[in-house]
């Protein structure tokens, strides 16, 4: 096989390779007597793409140039990454490339892409052939009951309202409208996802024929890829589909030089989650959520915050000078005498020297160490924030007197 692609058509070929790269990782190339076919298949085998370039797409075309058999053309499989390296910038290729030559090196088993650019620059890419076989998908597009021809702009603008995280799209076709909405899995809680739905009227399409009302679901990634291909070439998109479970065929062509078929597998949506009207929650669920919100709004503040506010509202005794009474039997409420006695015992343990006994001098060499238990200290300061605490009830020995009477 040997062919020459003029500079104006090199851009179309580059756009095609980039569109097919979003479908599969391998590119199948086959040359026939009147055309060249490019095919690919995704890893899940749920999306298939085929682009046919007619003989008049090329300035020179010989399908069996290196073949000894007159009826045998080129059949090979190459890596998609290698094909992308050849067409790195398809947007400006028509302004840089004057001619592209594609030929087969039979001895080295390599496919050669030779780009003849302006100013005498020649770029040659040698792509290794992975396998010598062709691929063909079985599908039909002529006998389906549902056919829609749409400007690619209509569907592209509709999909712009969907989230980037959406994996699949559901299409519901009726005689009155075409509905597009994102697919939501049953295992996902409905309150945590965004539902998107777009309704298009038949008047917005170039042609709209629905012989059998149906609902199908297909992948969104490949659908965006074929829409981008149609948008780059500024061509309308044809939809051919039938019942659920049968493949949907999307066609882009210019009528004379090339034709592209994109086939997407379809699945049946879950009726409970993919209904046209938005599913509302039950009254019991709404009432339960309402009661919960009311309880949250009237919920009291945390215990520590309440006690702290009370302590500050009462002009906390921690910042006042109070004369401690001599009477140890101070009545308390709610039977808190036991708690106060525990505080007295704790403070007595902390006091290291009894200086009220004038007959005995202090032994400065045998001063007991400071308490190291953080638990005891924490419990002392925590008692200050309790509403029933009264520092006047603490009985003990004053180790350090006030430095100022005021």
| pLDDT above 60: residue 47 | yes
Mean pLDDT of 369-392: 57
Residue 106 and residue 169 in one domain: no
Per the CB < 8 A criterion, the answer to whether 261 and 141 are in contact is yes
Residue 185 and residue 248 in one domain: yes
| pLDDT above 50: residue 334 | no
Residue 245 and residue 374 in one domain: no
Residue 149 and residue 284 in one domain: yes
Work out how many domains the chain is built from and give that number: 3
Residue 3 and residue 123 in one domain: yes
In angstroms, the CA 35 to CA 137 distance is 17
| pLDDT above 80: residue 152 | yes
Question: Would 400 be classed as within a structural domain?
Answer: no
Mean pLDDT of 375-402: 60
In angstroms, the CA 93 to CA 115 distance is 10
Pick from 233-242, 330-339, 367-376 the range whose average pLDDT is largest.
233-242
Looking at every residue in the chain, the average pLDDT score rounds to 75
Instruction: List the single range of 11-20, 243-252, 380-389 with lowest mean pLDDT.
Output: 380-389
Domain that holds residue 174: 141-299
Per the CB < 8 A criterion, the answer to whether 144 and 131 are in contact is no
In angstroms, the CA 251 to CA 259 distance is 7
Residue 147 and residue 295 in one domain: yes
| pLDDT above 60: residue 386 | yes
Q: Which pLDDT value is given to residue 205?
A: 94
| pLDDT above 70: residue 165 | yes
Q: CB under 8 Å to 202, separation ≥6 — which residues? A: 175, 176, 177, 178, 208
Residue 166 and residue 266 in one domain: yes
- The secondary structure of 312-376 as a DSSP string is HHTT-GGGS--PPPS-S----GGG-HHHHHHHHHHHHHH-----S-TTS---GGGPPPPP--HHH
Mean pLDDT of 239-263: 92
Q: Which pLDDT value is given to residue 133?
A: 80
Question: Would 214 be classed as within a structural domain?
Answer: yes
Per the CB < 8 A criterion, the answer to whether 58 and 7 are in contact is no
Q: Which helix (H) or strand (E) holds 3?
A: strand 2-6
Hey, is 11 helix, strand or coil? helix
Task: State pLDDT tens for residues 315-331.
Answer: 444 334 444 444 444 44
Residue 286 and residue 152 in one domain: yes
Residue 227 and residue 131 in one domain: no
Last residue of a domain, one of 299, 327, 348: 299
pTM above 0.85, yes or no: no
């Amino acid at each position: 096989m040997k062919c020459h692609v003029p500079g104006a058509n090199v851009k179309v070929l580059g756009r095609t390779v980039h569109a097919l790269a979003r479908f599969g990782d391998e590119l199948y190339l086959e040359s026939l007597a009147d055309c060249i076919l490019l095919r690919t298949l995704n890893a899940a085998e749920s999306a298939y793409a085929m682009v046919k370039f007619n003989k008049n797409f090329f300035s020179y075309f010989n399908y069996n140039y290196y073949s000894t058999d007159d009826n045998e053309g080129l059949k090979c499989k190459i890596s998609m990454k290698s094909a992308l390296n050849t067409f790195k910038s398809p947007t400006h290729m028509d302004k840089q490339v004057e001619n592209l030559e594609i030929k087969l090196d039979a001895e080295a088993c390599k496919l050669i892409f030779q780009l003849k650019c302006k100013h005498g620059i020649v770029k040659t890419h040698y792509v290794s052939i992975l396998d010598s076989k062709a691929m063909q998908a079985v599908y039909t597009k002529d006998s389906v009951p549902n056919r829609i021809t749409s400007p690619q702009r209509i569907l592209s603008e509709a999909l712009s309202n969907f989230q980037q995280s959406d994996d699949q799209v559901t299409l519901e076709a009726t005689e009155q409208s075409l509905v597009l909405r994102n697919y939501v899995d049953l295992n996902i809680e409905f309150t945590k996802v965004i539902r998107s739905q777009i309704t298009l009227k038949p008047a917005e399409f170039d042609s709209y024929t629905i012989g059998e009302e149906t609902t199908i679901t297909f992948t969104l990634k490949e659908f965006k890829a074929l829409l981008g291909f149609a948008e780059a070439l500024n061509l309308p998109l044809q939809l051919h589909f039938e019942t659920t479970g049968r493949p949907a065929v999307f066609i882009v062509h210019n009528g004379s030089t090339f034709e592209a078929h994109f086939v997407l597998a379809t699945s049946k949506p879950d009726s409970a989650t993919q209904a046209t009207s938005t599913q509302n929650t039950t009254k019991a669920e709404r009432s339960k959520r309402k009661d919960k919100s009311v309880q949250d709004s009237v919920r009291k503040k945390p215990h520590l915050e309440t006690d702290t506010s009370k302590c500050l509202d009462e002009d906390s005794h921690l910042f006042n000078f109070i004369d401690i009474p001599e009477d140890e039997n101070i009545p308390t409420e709610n039977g808190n005498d036991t708690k106060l006695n525990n505080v007295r015992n704790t403070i007595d343990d902390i006091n290291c020297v009894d200086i009220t006994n004038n007959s005995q001098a202090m032994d400065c060499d045998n001063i007991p160490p400071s308490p190291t238990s953080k638990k005891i200290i924490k419990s002392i300061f925590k008692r200050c924030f309790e509403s029933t605490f009264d520092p006047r009830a603490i009985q003990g020995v004053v180790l350090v007197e006030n430095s100022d009477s005021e």
